[in-house]
Amino acid sequence: MRRKPERRRSRTSPRPDAVLVPPFAWKVEALGSAGDGLARPLDPSNGTDVAFISLTAPGDVVLAQPSAQGRARLVEVMIPAPERVPPPCGLFGVCGGCTLQHLPLSWIQTWKKNRIQDGLQKAGATTLPSISVVATAPSTRRRADLAVRQQGTALVIGLHRRGGDVVDLTECHVLHPDILKLLPPLRDLFPRLDLFRREAELAINLLDTGPDLLIVSKHDASPRDRERLADFARAHGIPRIAGKQPGPKEEPEILAQVGAPRIAFAGVDVEPPPGAFLQASREGEAAIQQAVVAALPRIPGRKAHVVELHAGCGTLTFPLAEHVRVEAYEGHRGATRALQRAATGHRVEAHQRDLDRQPLNTRELGTALAVVLDPPYGGAGLQMQALLDAKPTTLIYVSCNPQMLFRDATRLLACGYTIDAVTVVDQFLWSAEIETVCRFSRKTTR
Ligand SMILES: C[S@@+](CC[C@H](N)C(=O)[O-])C[C@H]1O[C@@H](n2cnc3c(N)ncnc32)[C@H](O)[C@@H]1O
C-alpha cells in the first residue's frame, strides 16, 4: 500500500529556511506512546538514530524525511506491515482526530493492554492481575469539541488539520450519528449569527435528552441570535444552547433553552452545566462505572463511606452510592452544583474544592473505606502527595493518562501498595489515548 506524499506543511515540518535532508528508507520497529511509529534508518550510514514517524505501523518500511529533532515526515509506505488495513474514514491522515486507523481496532486494543502492563511493571509491579480490556463500538462518541471557521467562502466545522487549518468533518467513524447529523444545519446557521465572525469553538455533548451545545466566541449574542438559536433548538431537538467567551474562567450563559438537559447516572437525573465533562461514550462510561464498583472492598456496614475525588457531575458518584455512602469532591463550580442538586435523597455529600490548592489531608482521608480518584489529564497534582501521606487501604484510580498513572504507580508501589485489579477501556477509538481503572491495595497491620 503506498500513501500519497503529504502536500501540506505539518507541525513537525522543518522551517522553510532549514537545510532539508532528502528522504530515505526506514524500518518501523514499534509504536511510541503518542501512537507514532518509532523507526530506524535501513541504512545506518544515514547518520540518524531513531525517529518518530506519524501514520506508520510496526513492520512498515517507509520513505521518510527527517524533519524536527527526533522526527521524520512520511513520504510513502514502501512495504506495508502485514497488520495494516485500509483506513475506514476518507479523512484519515488529514483530519487531526484519529491517528491509528491504518491498524485494526483489535490490534490497537492489544497494544493498549501491553502498554499498560509494561508501564506498570516498569513502575515496580512485580505481580499483576490479568488485565481485562473492554472495547467500545465505533460511532458512539457523545462528546465533540469542534472548531467553526469561515475559510474563504466555505463555513467549515471540524477538527484542526494536523498543524493547520480546520478540516470540514464530512465523515467520521468515531462520533455518534446524532452529533454528525447536526453539522449540515449548523453550517447553515453559523453565518447567520452575529456572535460568529470568522471563528468560534463548539462543544456538543449528547445527553439523554438530546444534544447540548456550547458556543465559545469572542463576540456576544444579539437578541436576533437568541431567536435564531431558539428556532434552531426547537427544530433539531436540542434542549439548551449556551454561549461563553473564550477562557477557562469565563462562565457560560444560556442563549436558548427549550427543554430540560438531563443525563442519568445509575438512574439519577443530573442537569450538567453547559460543556460539562462526560466520559467519551455511554459504553465507555458503563465499563468504567462497572470496574470502579467491582473494585470496592467488602462494605462493613451502613456507616462506611468512600471519598471520591474529581467527581465531575456524578458519573461514578451515583453508581458508588448504590453500595456505600459517598463524600464527593470536585473543583468545577457548575459540575459541583449539578452534583449537589442531584444528590438530594441519595447517600451523597458533594463539596466544591480545588484539590490542587487544598488537597484532602490525612485526617479527611483516613476513615474512608476506599478513595476513588479520576484526575484530569494533567494528573492529581498535590493531592497525590496527600494520598501517599494518608495511605488509604484501597485506592481506585481512574486514569486517562498512562504517563501520570505510571508516575503515580511508581510512588504508590514504593509505599507498599500492590495492584490487584486493572481494566483497560478502549473508549478513544483509533487513537493512542488509554483509559484505565486500577485498584491499589495496601495490607494494614491491624
Ligand atoms: C477526568 S474528569 C472525571 C470526572 C468524573 N469522575 C467523570 O467520570 O465524569 C476530571 C474531573 O476533575 C475535575 N478537576 C480538575 N482539576 C481539579 C482540581 N484541581 N480540583 C478538583 N477537581 C478538579 C474536573 O473538573 C473534572 O470534573
What length does the chain have? 446
Q: Which of 43-47, 55-59, 103-107, 247-251 has the lowest mean pLDDT?
A: 43-47
Average pLDDT score over residue span 62-80: 94
Each domain of the chain, given as residue ranges in start order, spans: 1-83, 105-137+277-441, 143-269
Residue in 332, 356, 364 to alter for ligand 1 test, most ligand atoms within 8 A of Cβ = 332
Q: How confident is the model at residue 337 (pLDDT cuts 50, 70, 90)?
A: very high
Structure confidence at residue 47 (pLDDT): 75
Closest ligand 1 atom, residue 276 Cα: 27
The yes-or-no verdict on residue 29 having pLDDT over 70 is yes
Structure confidence at residue 163 (pLDDT): 66
Q: What is the CATH number of domain 105-137+277-441?
A: 3.40.50.150
* Contact residues for 69 (Cβ-Cβ < 8 A; gap 6+): none
Q: How far is the CA of 330 from the centre of ligand 1 (A)?
A: 6
Average pLDDT score over residue span 197-207: 97
**For the domain with range 143-269, which CATH number is right: 3.30.420.40, 2.40.50.1070, 2.102.10.10, 2.60.40.1220?**
2.40.50.1070
185 vs 206: CA distance, rounded Å: 17
Nearest protein CA to atom 17 of ligand 1, as residue = 331
Structure confidence at residue 19 (pLDDT): 60
Collapsing DSSP to helix, strand or coil, 117 comes out as helix
Nearest protein CA to atom 13 of ligand 1, as residue = 310
Any bridge partners for residue 350, and if so which?
328
Contact present, 124 and 409 (Cβ < 8 Å): yes
Decide if 1-83 and 143-269 have a common fold: yes
Average pLDDT score over residue span 246-252: 92
Average pLDDT score over residue span 233-251: 96
Nearest to 189 by CA among 160, 213, 171, 205: 213
Q: How far is the CA of 336 from the centre of ligand 1 (A)?
A: 10
**Percentage of residues of the chain with pLDDT beyond 70:** 95
With b meaning 16 or more CB within 10 Å and e meaning fewer, what string describes 227-244? ebbbebbeebebbbbbbb
Structure confidence at residue 68 (pLDDT): 81
Contact present, 309 and 372 (Cβ < 8 Å): yes
Q: What is the DSSP letter of 297?
A: P
Q: How far is the CA of 373 from the centre of ligand 1 (A)?
A: 9
pLDDT tens per residue, range 99-142 = 999 999 999 999 999 999 999 999 999 999 999 999 999 999 99
Q: How confident is the model at residue 69 (pLDDT cuts 50, 70, 90)?
A: confident
**Percentage of residues of the chain with pLDDT beyond 90:** 88
Q: pTM for this one?
A: 0.93
Which residue has cell 452544583? Answer: 337
Which residue has cell 480518584? Answer: 373
Collapsing DSSP to helix, strand or coil, 78 comes out as strand
The yes-or-no verdict on residue 71 having pLDDT over 70 is yes
Average pLDDT score over residue span 33-58: 93
Detail the DSSP E strand segments found in 110-262.
Answer: 132-135, 143-151, 154-160, 166-168, 199-207, 210-216, 240-244, 253-257
Q: Does domain 1-83 have CATH number 1.10.10.10?
A: no
Nearest protein CA to atom 8 of ligand 1, as residue = 315
Q: How far is the CA of 360 from the centre of ligand 1 (A)?
A: 14
Within 6 A (CB) of ligand 1 lie 277, 279, 310-312, 315-316, 330-332, 335, 354-356, 374, 376, 400
By annotation, the residues acting in catalysis are: 400
Angle among Cα 381, 387, 393 to the nearest 5 degrees reads 145
Q: What is the DSSP letter of 175?
A: B
Nearest to 105 by CA among 444, 445, 426: 426
